[in-house]
Structure 1
């Protein structure tokens, strides 16, 4: 007789599916570069700089001794802040956020190294990647936990309507009123203290 296997935990296969993880990584990386491209294009046009692919993919553009490098650093940090929204929408689980945030930056390191034909050597680039990864991780975890801990509403009336009903819905002291559940009239009867007789 074949041995019966225990059924998997609900959602376990869906959460750990390699295809789903690869799809999420590709979507996040695409969103990361698309958002950065838009921000860098805007910053370059406003600053009057020539728009080049080096601004997006080369680590040599991120230097701490020129104004353009600091401007690009600010743009990349803003990009990380916006990417927290993508993490919240695409991942939505706080315990997975650090893995995906670090994966984005690791892939960016590989892409930058391949584009520039060398591993980054500027301290400013490395410091920026560390700050960006920390920002994405901490804000991503915080936002996902905030969403996970929000109370779930199962329909019904809103809180303002409920507060109005609490004052009007029933009256104590022998007067009649409608129940909150709309089940009809009822009468509140006072209880006297003593030997247990009402």
Structure 2
């Protein structure tokens, strides 16, 4: 008799699927560069500087002894804040945020090294990457945990004040005390009932 295999946990294969993880990495990396490009282009236009790809991919532009270097550093810090939002929208799991944040910065290291044909040797660049990864991880984990701990509503119930009858006069539809002839609905909503007047002798057994 063949041995029965244990069924997988719900959502385990979907969460750990290599194709899904690869897709999330590609989308996050594109969003990382797209947001950085928008911020860099806006900053360069405001400062009146020439827009080049070196501002985005070259690690030599990030220097601590120039105004351009500090401005680019601030732009990349703002970009890490925006990527925390992307983490919340695309990942939404706090235990995976650190892995994706480190992967994004590792890919960025490879891209900048190939673009500049050299491994970054600028300490300011490395310090900025550590700061960016820390901000992205901290905010991403906090946002994902806030979303995970958010109570789930399975359908609301009407408040007692909204279901309470507004009056007890004769002829009102509700569950209050009424006199005379009237119509109303039962407490369980099973159907309507009709109150009739009691004749003389109806209460005698």
Q: Normalising TM by the smaller chain, what interval?
A: 0.7 to 0.9
Q: Superposition RMSD on alpha carbons, in Å? A: 2.4
Offset, 1:155: 2.6
Greater Rg, structure 1 or structure 2? 2
Q: TM-score, normalised by structure 2?
A: 0.79
- Structure 2 vs 1, CA of residues 164 and 63 (structure 1 numbering), >3 Å: closer, same or farther? farther
Equivalent residue, structure 2, for 1:129? 129
Q: TM-score, normalised by structure 1?
A: 0.82
Equivalent residue, structure 2, for 1:110? 110
Equivalent residue, structure 2, for 1:97? 97
Offset, 1:163: 7.2
Contact 1:165 1:180 in 2 (8 A): no
Offset, 1:179: 9.1
Task: In structure 1, list runs of 5 or more residues that go unmatched.
Answer: 185-198
Q: Distance in 1 between matches of 2:165 and 2:28?
A: 51
Deviations 1:14-33 (A, max 9, x none): 11111100000000000000
Task: In structure 2, list runs of 5 or more residues that go unmatched.
Answer: 167-174, 178-184, 192-205
Q: Distance in 2 between matches of 1:12 and 1:147?
A: 19
**Segments ≥4 residues shifted beyond 6 Å:** 177-181
Offset, 1:181: 6.8
Structure 2 residue 59 is matched with structure 1 residue 59: yes
Equivalent residue, structure 2, for 1:27? 27
Contact 1:31 1:83 in 2 (8 A): yes
Structure 2 residue 73 is matched with structure 1 residue 73: yes
